[in-house]
Structure 1
Amino acid sequence: MGIFDIVFRSLAVYLFMIIAIRLTGKKELSQLNTGDVVLILLISNAVQNAMVGPDTSLLGGLVAAGVLFLLNYILKNFLYKNERLRNFIYQKPEILIHHGNLDFTTLSRLKITNEELQEAMREHGVERYRDVRLAMLEVDGNISIISNIDGMKQSTYKRKQAHKRLDAS
């Protein structure tokens, strides 16, 4: 198996993964839960042979890894320059609360629970919905809150941050 075959296979797997993640609704990997971590580990094992085939050499692995890093770099540059592609890959920020009024349709579609929204508000020192001028789910998975309370600043809340931790501490 040649290097160009590994390059082609790595390209195909990379494109498949980008499209699959986008179509399955995974906004950002900062929102990982236990199931997501297991899925990523299993996918990486499943696609390894698809990228390098029977080539288990160090060179084959380095070529596949190099192709993935290069593709990621190229994709980031295309996303920076191409708004249409950026809109396909990333979703838009979503308004959750506007002047104290909750957008129940958006909250339901994004599967954000009342408890999760209240936790984000408490993180920002806001007790009541009516004290929220604007709450947004940002494209990176954070909930940003701008309050009506004098002297309060805008702050952000990392949504589901506790799920990212893999250590026992």
Structure 2
Amino acid sequence: MHTDWWELPLRATIIYIALLVMVRVSGRRTVGQFTPFDLLVVMLLSESVSNGLSGGEDSVTGALLAAMTLVALNLSVAFITSRSTGFRRVVEGDPILIGRDSVIFENVLRAQRIPLGDAKQALREADCDLKDMKFLFLEADGDISVLKDSAVPA
């Protein structure tokens, strides 16, 4: 290895945290449903950070050290989010109400960069007419969930 052993884990940690923040800020649909454009961004992100991650280190040992650091960070985040509600909210976010009582909140959809068609598609997939919708949520993972009015027969 050409670099100090501690430099690669430090670089991996910085890049992991920076990308986690960027993905979190970019919106829920980035995580929930990849469009071809989202996939392109992910591919370009990985290419753009690769030199910063490796610091010019080309050895197998250096690559494995960086990879182990990323896996350990990912496992750590998963472990902490499973045990800490506050940390989970920071990393993943909370569901957002995007419709209630047969009304879809288009201003909330715009703020979350969700097309109205995605909300309507979620209703169709749940076999729920708009008039039967009680709540419509944008989940933390980017999915849209539908709760039907309980007064409506199934």
**TM-score under structure 2 length normalisation:** 0.85
Residue identity in the other structure for 1:138? E
Residue identity in the other structure for 1:63? L
Aligned to 1:59: 61
Question: May I ask how many residue pairs the two structures share in their alignment?
Answer: 150
Aligned to 2:137: 136
Q: Distance in 1 between matches of 2:5 and 2:55?
A: 11
After TM superposition, list the pairs within 5 Å mapping 1:1-169 onto structure 2. Answer: 1-26=3-28, 29-127=31-129, 129-148=130-149, 149-151=152-154
Q: Distance in 1 between matches of 2:117 and 2:38?
A: 21
Q: Distance in 1 between matches of 2:30 and 2:135?
A: 22
**TM-score under structure 1 length normalisation:** 0.79
Structure 1 residue 14: Cα displacement: 0.9
Runs of 5+ unmatched residues, structure 1: 152-169
Structure 1 residue ranges (4+ consecutive) displaced by more than 4 angstroms after TM superposition: none
Residues 106-146 of structure 1: per-residue CA shift (max 9 Å, x gap): 2221233332222221222223x211122211111111112
Structure 1 residue 150: Cα displacement: 1.0
* % identical aligned pairs: 22
Q: Is the 8 A contact 2:23 2:30 kept in 1?
A: no
Runs of 5+ unmatched residues, structure 2: none
Residue identity in the other structure for 2:14? A
